[in-house]
Amino acid sequence: MKLRRILTPFSVERELRILQWNCNGIRPKASRLREYMEQERVDVALIQETHLNPHHGFTMGPDFQVFRKDRISHKGGVMTVFSSKINRVHRFHINHPPDVEAQSWIIRVSGFGTIFLHNWYCAPVRTRSKQFSFQFIEPYFKQQSLLLGDFNSKSPWWGYKGTDLLGRSLMSFVRKNKIVFLNLRGLSTLRQGTTPDLSLATADIADRCSWRPGEYLGSDHRTILISINLKTNIEHLNRIVPVNNKRLYRRKNMIRRISKLFKNFLYGFVKYFYITAFRVRK
């Protein structure tokens, strides 16, 4: 792991405010993002799909520090924006999976201690390799850690009907490390009604986190505002909760099969009845 000091007094009275957002192209939305961060008093913004290339210029003004990881080709890219109040930040480099664009940060905040932030954008299914593992991030996701991003993955846990490879890998990672979802059940983050944007936290910090979806700001993804409270533990009864998948999936598959068999039987019976009745009339 390579550790690099980026910024050097940050103090908060009661909470640290983090913005998570897939902007779907940041350049035409820069002014709206800056206004939103000032309005919501955002300390750190983790942005996905910036669509910036290395030759693109981009700034948020003197009150914000911008750190980019651009994709050389079309679309993609991630970016982290720090308020000028934040001064004890380190960027560290880990080996992410090949289909992930990511940034990882260590923030030292008075009263909060050390917080690990991971900003991820996972490539869509059509461009993703057949193997995917979270083992690279596990050593850096033990305590006071957040993994935020657009995962482009499917699982019934976060509202999809089926699962895909990345969804299964993510579910395994969550179960193995006892990770907590900050997302609330039934609240989509994409305008189409699905939830590709996930917010994960270690158990020691999750009870102090609030999670709230916000505006679209010109993207098809909603902004997500996460507040880490210094002292207060927050109860969230409606968060996404991992379930015993094998038993649940077997039960659902059995119900689907029985339902399909019953429909086929009913269709065949009705068809036979009408054909027989038609012959009798003749």
65 versus 250: the higher-pLDDT residue is 65
pLDDT at 266: 83
Same domain, 45 and 74: yes
Arithmetic mean of pLDDT over the chain: 87
- pLDDT for 10 beyond 60: no
Range 135-147 burial, b when 16+ CB lie within 10 A, else e: eebeeebeebbbb
126 and 210 in a single domain? The answer is yes
**Residue 9 pLDDT:** 43
Domain-embedded: residue 238: no
**Residue 67: in which H helix or E strand, if any?**
strand 64-69
Alpha helices (H) along the chain = 30-39, 165-177, 203-206, 245-281
Instruction: Say if residue 32 is in the same domain as residue 150.
Output: yes
pTM of the model: 0.82
Please tell me the distance from the alpha carbon of residue 262 to that of residue 142, in angstroms, as a whole number: 49
What's 42's domain CATH number? 3.60.10.10
Same domain as 132, residue 59? yes
* pLDDT tens figures, 189-204: 999 899 999 999 999 9
Task: Please check whether residues 149 and 174 belong to one and the same domain.
Answer: yes
Q: Is the domain of 95 the same as that of 155? A: yes
User: Looking at the structure, do residues 147 and 182 belong to the same domain, yes or no?
Assistant: yes
- In total, how many domains does the chain have? 2
Least confident of 65-79, 164-178, 229-243: 229-243
Kindly state the percentage of the chain with pLDDT values over 90.
61
For range 216-237, the mean pLDDT: 88
Which pLDDT belongs to residue 81? 97
Confidence category of residue 234, pLDDT binned at 50, 70, 90: confident
Cα(224)–Cα(187) distance, rounded to whole angstroms?
Answer: 11
Considering the domain boundaries, does residue 30 fall inside one? yes
In a domain, 71, yes or no: yes
* 96 residue type, one letter: H
Per the structure, the complete domain to which residue 110 belongs is given by: 2-229
Domain-embedded: residue 236: no
What amino acid is encoded at 231 in this protein?
Answer: K
Of all helices (H) and strands (E), which one includes residue 206? helix 203-206
